[in-house]
Chain A
């Protein structure tokens, strides 16, 4: 290490993070006394927004991991991805999951976005969705990219930040 010349501008490939991600996730599971197994699963990405790698947890403590909208799963993901210093542009490429929870949640969010957009189109009134993290808000924004009759904005701070769907005709906030 150290002596190799670095071909600097090239972004770090996702693969180079795998070992560190797996290692820290397993360490947290072991030291936390969680009865879980950690496996990395690689997918053929459906499009440029979908994950290429799943950090998959399974075992008797899956329920604990998914409690309160996956609070523990989210926490482990956040800490691990910070610790390995994953480049922000790669965040959507990797997903921590357990029993397909995330995958199902994405489908649910897409459906929720469409239903809310229909409502905004029909009533002409803005419609706020519940608080979501950045990853979930992004799914909503992307899901409504192809709905010209509405536009989306994020509003609020920290854990309270949410997406508000507006009629496309209403003026954008500065």
Chain B
């Protein structure tokens, strides 16, 4: 799941080498922390947060198949 977010983020940004995803496993929820170059923040968030929302939808659906909950946090 980490790889999924990583690949999507790398495709969206101008500086793919700066993309980092950290997985923090909790009891109920696994948090994926996404870090990108500050100049690329807009690329992963999108207009009115639409890109971030779309990534979360994909992550949620993929998690459902594994019967696990994932949340995406975009670190600034």
A contact set with B: CB distance below 8 Å: 24, 27-28, 31-34, 61, 64, 71-72, 74-76, 78-80, 82-84, 157-159
Nearest CB on B from A121, distance (A): 34
For B29, the chain A residues whose CB sits under 8 A away are: none
- From A27, which residue of chain B is reached at the shortest CB distance? B7
A72 B51 Cβ-Cβ under 8 A:
no
A79 B66 Cβ-Cβ under 8 A:
no
Nearest CB on B from A31, distance (A): 4
A64 B61 Cβ-Cβ under 8 A:
yes
B8 A33 Cβ-Cβ under 8 A:
no
B54 A32 Cβ-Cβ under 8 A:
no
B74 part of interface (Cβ distance < 8 Å): no
With A32-B62, A158-B48 in contact, is A75–B57 under 8 Å at CB? yes
User: Closest 10 A-B residue pairs measured CB to CB?
Assistant: A83-B11, A32-B62, A75-B57, A75-B54, A31-B4, A158-B48, A78-B54, A72-B61, A79-B54, A83-B12
Nearest CB on B from A84, distance (A): 8
For A75, the chain B residues whose CB sits under 8 A away are: 53-55, 57-58
Bound: A71/B54 CA distance, A: 9
23 CB < 8 A contacts A-B: A24-B7, A28-B7, A28-B8, A31-B7, A32-B4, A32-B58, A32-B61, A32-B65, A33-B62, A34-B65, A61-B65, A64-B64, A64-B65, A72-B58, A72-B61, A79-B54, A79-B58, A82-B43, A83-B8, A83-B12, A84-B11, A158-B48, A158-B50
B38 part of interface (Cβ distance < 8 Å): no
Which single member of A28, A83, A158 contacts B58 (CB below 8 Å)?
A: A28
With A33-B65, A83-B12 in contact, is A76–B58 under 8 Å at CB? yes
